Amino acid sequence: MKFLLCSTLFLIANSPAALFGAEASEDEDLFSLSFEDLLDVHVDIASKTAETLSSVPSTMSVFSRQQIQALGVDNAYEVMNFVAGMQSTRGDWVGAVPKDHARGVYLDSGNVLVMINGERVNESSFGKASVYMPYIPIEVIEKIEFIRGPGSALYGSNAFLGVMNIVTTKERNALQAVAGNNGRYGATAQFYKHFSDTVSAYATLSYESKSGERYPQDVKDPLKAVYIEAGLDYKKLSLHTRYNETQLDEFLNLAGYSKQNQHTSDNTFIGIKYNWLNTDKFKLDSHYSYSKHAISTAGLIAEFDDMPDFLLGPDWQTYDSKFSTELSYQLDNQWQLAAGVEYAEAKQQKADVRTNYYDSDSQQVILAPAYYQNGIVRIKDFPLFASLKYTFETVSAYGQLKIPFSDSFTFFIGARYDDVKDIDSKLSPRLASIYEINQSHTLKLQYGESFRTPVTNELFSNDSVTKGNPSLQSESVKTTELVWHYQNATLQTNAVLFYNELNDFIETVPFQGSDTLFTFENSLNTDNRGLELDATWQYNKKFALTGTYTHYFHEPINASFKRFASLVTRYNLNDSWQLSLNILWRDQVNAASLNGDEFNQSAYSLLGGTVKWQLNTHSHLMFKAENVLGKNYNVFDPRVENGSVAGTTEELSLHYQINF
């Protein structure tokens, strides 16, 4: 896979026309975004049909490149904090990777599906996309689409409480550089060439590094990240490939703060798509993709006064391969059909361990001076992890029909069936009715069901802490939503009431009759309700205001925020300068960690923003600030001893971009 990736990059990068032959384009900057563009933005991940935000049969939030720049964030996961019903915090699992919260649920097990260009990133060992791909730089992104609520009717497992689809930039020639506090520096290069009506190619390379902020535990949170992507379109054939690697050492890993903590993850992806037929009424595509995910990590488990500290962690590798065929067809009566079939195979092919204490004779981790390894070593084919090497085979089929009964009333009906061999099978239906009262007011009533298949860590883990349960079934959720959408020449707003019925949620429970502490069971059945509000107001061509507010009527599952909000304002001072300010507000959290310690964090607000100076039509400078006032706050993670994980303080950076 790396050979194919490097070969594609080499061919593109060594074409003088690709580097210098493209015509210079104007900077598609923050000033070019009109309110009319926002109202007419087209989305298709929620329905497989071209829809606007008022006609789409899901609750959605969409962020353009210009809007993302104005937020001043650096990682795709941070954009979640400006979506009603969603948040992203950092906590402890491996490498202090981002944690997803959605609609009052924070179980940290992959209940939000993350996709890049419509391809899933979540994998089969931990389930969470961010374990293997924790950093996706903003510089490579063209748009991010969020489905708030169930998405399994189209995308299967993990599209449970939400979907985040990251659309990367392809048609751009640009160079970007960044420098900031905490030792941060980085660069991104993007190249695109349209050779003819039938041939085009693109390549992206991004590198980011920072030494990190100093914390009271005498550790930093350094980062090193590489993102490479390339593609070639030839007639009806498309080839796309990407590679990323992220290093998150030191800070917090497996509940322990230590300078010795280590975490590296990498992903390789290649996808081939062929368009068999594309007419005004009928489209047929086939697609094959292969992904490899790998992590190598070791976290502080215990500290000793009389011998070296104990560090342990997984050295795992999984792969996913998928073949799918999709079609769309518009009938003579204007009904639209979208359907597809899919075969997927996901396998954990490596389940090694990294540790600094090991007895090679008994093949056991033994905490005694005689078994200290003089550093962290990798133990291949660790016996207790052997059962994790499992292959999931999934056969899926979906269909959806869009029925426009009249100019004002549209009905969507669809379902997807997933059969996971020897694990479970699920039918995920979805119904949506959309009634346009007039040009300003639209009502939607939506019902959907989604699921999450248990992963190898839950099914087959076997260590001194947890023992897997091969009898686990999929988690499921039934969601009903009532949506009011309003828009006029200057204002767009949504009010969403949702009700979730959550079934068979997987929890850790005490394990009886063994030295193992916990096992997994489908033991949680509950429901939750909430209100989500979002609005964008374009006062005039210079000033715009966007806000969100979320309120859950029940206590969140596993302590999260019950109320939270965001506000973003953008002001064009003149043709060259723009100011953007944003504020994130989070309500108080009171919870107990696994050892019973009380966690208490009062309500807090974080201020950020950007200042942009358009140097000319091809280049600009931008100053970004996150938590500019240096607010000290903590977020909750139940696995940390006292439940407390420090949030980042001020992040300041200067960005330069030139388009050519």
- pLDDT average, residue stretch 587-605: 88
Q: What is the pLDDT of residues 147-174, one digit of tens each?
A: 999 999 999 999 989 999 999 999 999 9
Rounded Cα gap, residues 470 and 388, in angstroms: 11
3-state secondary structure of 16: helix
Assess whether pLDDT exceeds 70 at residue 18: no
The predicted pLDDT at position 34 comes to: 53
- Domain topology for 2-659: Maltoporin; Chain A (2.40.170)
Q: What percent of the chain has pLDDT over 70?
A: 93
Confidence (pLDDT) at 36: 52
> If pLDDT is split at 50, 70 and 90, which confidence band does 388 have?
very high
Q: What is the mean pLDDT of the chain?
A: 90
- pLDDT top residue among 24 and 29: 29
How do residues 89-136 score in pLDDT, each as one tens digit? Answer: 988 777 678 988 899 888 777 899 999 999 999 999 988 899 999 999
Mean pLDDT of 304-308: 92
Q: What CA–CA distances, in Å, run from 26 to 189, 225, 619?
A: 17, 29, 9
Please check the confidence at residue 21 and state whether its pLDDT lies above 50. Answer: no
pLDDT tens-digit series, residues 435-450:
999 999 999 999 999 9
Domain ranges, ordered by start, for the chain: 2-659
Full DSSP string of 382-429: -GGGGGG--EEEEEEEEEEEEEE-SSSEEEEEEEEEEEETTTEEEEEE
Element (H, E) at 10: helix 2-13
| DSSP structure class, residue 155 | H
Query: Is the model's pLDDT at 333 over the cut of 80?
Result: yes
Asked if the model's pLDDT at residue 30 lies above 50, the reply is: no
Give the lowest-confidence range in 46-50, 322-326, 339-343, 650-654. 46-50
Residue 481 structure tokens: 């939503």
Predicted pLDDT at 637 = 87
What number is the average pLDDT over the span 423-437? 96
Give the residue from 204, 203, 206, 209 showing the smallest Cα distance to 188.
Answer: 206
Task: Name the residue among 199, 38, 71 with its Cα closest to residue 141.
Answer: 71
Mean pLDDT (whole number) for 495-505:
96
User: Residue range 499-517: average pLDDT?
Assistant: 83
Q: Read off the pLDDT of each residue in 427-434 and give the average, rounded to a whole number.
A: 96
What is the mean predicted confidence (pLDDT) over 640-650? 88
Q: Alpha helices of 133-215 — where are they, by DSSP H?
A: 152-155
65 SS3 class: helix
CA nearest 460: which of 524, 514, 513, 383?
383
Percent pLDDT > 90 in the chain is 75
Condensed to tens digits (0 to 9), the pLDDT of residues 613-631 reads: 999 999 999 999 999 999 9
Identify the band that residue 47 occupies on the pLDDT scale cut at 50, 70 and 90.
confident
| Burial of residue 202, with CB atoms counted within 10 A of its CB: 0-12 exposed, 13-18 middle, 19 or more buried | buried
Reply yes or no on whether the pLDDT at 38 is more than 50.
yes
Q: Residue 381 region, left (φ>0) first, then alpha (ψ -120 to 50), else beta?
A: left
Provide mean pLDDT across the span 33-42: 58
Mean pLDDT of 72-79: 95
Q: What is the mean pLDDT of residues 521-530?
A: 94
Both tokens of 338, joined, read 């979208």
- Tell me: pLDDT of 29 over 50: no
